[in-house]
Amino acid sequence: MKRLIQLIKEARFVFIAGNGGSASTAEHLTNDLFSKGIKAICLNSNTSIMTMLANDFSYSQVYGRQLEVYATSNDLLITISCSGTSGNIKNAIFTANNIGMKVFQFETFSKDGDYEKLEDKHLKFAHQIKKLL
């Protein structure tokens, strides 16, 4: 946790992404960081950009392409995903690594895990981040 807080404080921008319930947590964390004066952008919040990218490229590109346009090596990507196997999350991490960004992934589990428990844990983790900032 201490390392993540340091990464957030050092980043020029913090980009956050998730799918489904994790997209909601990504938006919540973005709000919490912004409220603490952190420049945070939720990649799953702009539906017009997401749907354009899904239509013109592919859904697996909706986060990575945004990072290609917006991000620099001074930024941080935080992904929130229960499975960690979604193509768009994997592609965002790949793109972030190519840019030279720092990457932090919330805890994931195998496909047999309990989504509800892990989503609750993710939200609690997001609240702890805000509290520590």
pLDDT score at 111: 66
Model-level pTM?
0.96
Residue type at 96? Answer: A
Q: Where are the chain's structural domains?
A: 2-132
Token pair 């013109």 is found at 56
Report helix, strand or coil for 65.
helix
Residue 112's pLDDT band, with cuts at 50, 70 and 90, is confident
User: pLDDT tens digits for 47-59?
Assistant: 999 999 999 999 9
Output Rg (C-alpha) for the chain, integer angstroms. Answer: 14
Q: How far is CA 12 from the centre of its chain?
A: 15
In the CATH scheme, what is the homologous superfamily, with its name and number, of domain 2-132? Answer: Glucose-6-phosphate isomerase like protein; domain 1 (3.40.50.10490)
User: pLDDT tens digits for 15-47?
Assistant: 999 999 999 999 999 999 999 999 999 999 999
pLDDT score at 37: 97
The CA distance from 89 to 118, in Å, is 17
Residue type at 49? Answer: I
| CA nearest neighbour of 80 among 113, 50, 49, 42 | 42
User: pLDDT tens digits for 69-92?
Assistant: 999 999 999 999 999 899 999 999
